[in-house]
Chain A
Amino acid sequence: MSGLIIYALRRITVSIPVLFLLLLFIFLLLHLVPGDPLTAYMAEDPRATQADVDRLRESLGLDQPLHIQFLHYISNTVRGEFGTSLHSRELVSNMILDRLPYTLQLGVAALLFAVAIATVLGVFAALFHNTWLDGLSMSIAILGVSIPNFWLGLMLISLFAVTLNWLPASGAGTLSHLILPTIALGTAWAALTTRLIRSSMLDVLREDYVRTARSKGQVERKVVTHHALRNALIPVVTYVGAQIPGIVGGAVVTETVFSRPGIGRLLILSISRRDFAVVEGVILMIGVIVVFSNLLVDISYAFLDPQIRYE
């Protein structure tokens, strides 16, 4: 167990410089915007005078040199202060916290959907290796990765919301609001994971312990679920980690399709409003989510597979 703790601490230490660079990168990206963010703000409110703008610039610290602004930015961010929205004057941190649950729900639901579908298809493909069932599963998988999530979303809306009127086309709050976005976001991921589980199962089914289980007369179903599948799923854990950025990015687009009020939708709306304090906050939040979930995945992988800790 102490090996695991040492590993976790070492892994956390490595994440700190990445978080710092992430801050620097987002800061530079949005402070080097050609054109003044306040100009856009002025254009929105025709009554704003130059004096108003100057006062706002001073209150936001935008009149300071870049490196001073960065120091302020870091110290504010570390204290959880992401600034104020130019558009709604709300605290960016509150705006993000209000919307984060919707994004997390969608991400987790899509993850569960993808792993469930992929486990079934992947295991069948591996058990019936080189038969038509395998071919069918693999065809579904390659088709699945080729469908853009937002188009799949549109088609689902057209069928289940417009034509059949079974499920809502937009919004959030109930389980029925979650179904279509989950399928739209999870399908490509399910397809990718199917291929991984299939090849992982194929490797595991050739292992000695599977042959031993079979030769001692174990029922085939138990051999598959107890001996093979458990081991075949271990590499899936790291793979899930590697796919987290993809699913968070996909959520941004999916939320827009379904007008789901998560942080992705907030990002796109804030960009169209040129509300860069919010854009900055959301991108940072997304980066932090990715870094921390990768951290969690690595640590849980080390927990599952003790060899990792001693590398």
Chain B
Amino acid sequence: MTENRLADGQQGEAAVDGRDSRRYSPTRELWKSLLTNKRALAGGAIVILLVVVALLAPQVSPYDHTRQDIANRLSPPSPEHWLGTDELGRDVLSRIIYGARTSLTVGGLSVAVAMLLGVVIGAVSGYFGGTLDDVLMRIADVFLAIPGIVLAIALVAVLGASTWNVILALGITEWVNFARVVRGQVLSVREREYVVAARASGAAAPRILMRHVLPNVASSVIVMATLSLATMIIAEASLGYLGLGVPPPQPTWGGMLNTGQRFIHTAVHLSVFPGLFIVVTVLGVNLFGDALRDLLDPKLGRD
């Protein structure tokens, strides 16, 4: 693992600046490190495989995921139905494959919402400081005081359960983490000579933020985004399990587990398989995210 880590801070900074007189390409270097890192490879392979399966769901799922076959309900895994059938006789594997679409889409988009909110608020707060910073950070404290899943539950309860509301609710619970990291880094970057020079030469704040400040926080944000994808996938599944997720008929892994619990005495396969897929997905994302963190942002891991 360690031999793959970018050798020192100098290279790390080059990776962030994207410029080097020796025509050193940080992106190529990062790819090389990722491709020789076992955890990154394993995690990346799992995630890519799941994305491909989700994209090709109509082609790869053995049955129509909505087709009911009451005569064959709650049947255990068999050569016809590899992972068995559910309470309406629907093929569990096909529903899990379509569930991957929900899980990855909702997970990915909620991270995007969180990242957008967090980066903007964090950058503005850190760069301008003063009262604005105080107010924004007190608001952040309130979000930190309410556990993410509880806030998401409350937001979905208020907004109503729909795919977009779940994405929005999850994004709103996660922005604070991005905002705090970005704010901290902006605070340290804004006093550096090149930013002071840009300010002195009359550059406007949005330009300074976009050109000089944000590129410096990009690697931390990418690492955070990967790791928070794992959190969001679990949170989406939890909401689905609690009956507050993406509503039926769209299959979700959490929703399938909610049904599974009702039949835990008679058809345990309904509880086992959707959960295994959640674990494998989250494990893949975590393995990749961990490797990425070690390569891009070793300091973040120490906290």
Contact = CB atoms under 8 A, between A and B. Distances in A.
Interface of A is mostly: helix
A17 B275 contact: no
Interface of B: 138-139, 141-142, 144-150, 153-155, 157-160, 230, 234, 237-238, 241-244, 257, 260-261, 264-265, 268, 271-272, 275, 278-279, 282-283, 286-287, 290, 301-302
Nearest to B282: A146
Interface of B is mostly: helix
A253 B261 contact: no
A188 to B, nearest CB: 9
A199 to B, nearest CB: 7
A142 B287 contact: yes
A68 interface: no
Contacts of A146: 230, 279, 282-283, 286
B40 to A, nearest CB: 13
18 contacts: A18-B141, A21-B139, A22-B146, A29-B154, A34-B159, A145-B230, A148-B237, A150-B237, A151-B271, A154-B260, A155-B271, A162-B265, A249-B148, A249-B149, A250-B147, A253-B238, A268-B153, A271-B153
Interface of A: 17-18, 21-22, 25, 29-30, 32-34, 142-143, 145-148, 150-151, 154-155, 157-158, 162, 199, 245-246, 248-250, 252-253, 256-257, 267-268, 271-272, 279, 283, 286-287, 290-291, 294
Nearest to A21: B142
Nearest to A151: B275
B53 to A, nearest CB: 18
B302 A279 contact: no
B234 A148 contact: yes
B155 A162 contact: no
A86 B234 CA distance: 32
B210 to A, nearest CB: 30
A151 B234 CA distance: 10
Contacts of B144: 245, 290
Contacts of A199: 301-302
Which 4 A-B pairs have CB atoms at the shortest separation, nearest pair first?
A: A249-B147, A151-B275, A249-B149, A146-B283
Contact of B275 (A21, A29, A154, A272): A154
Contacts of A158: 264, 268, 271-272
A283 B278 CA distance: 28
A18 B275 contact: no
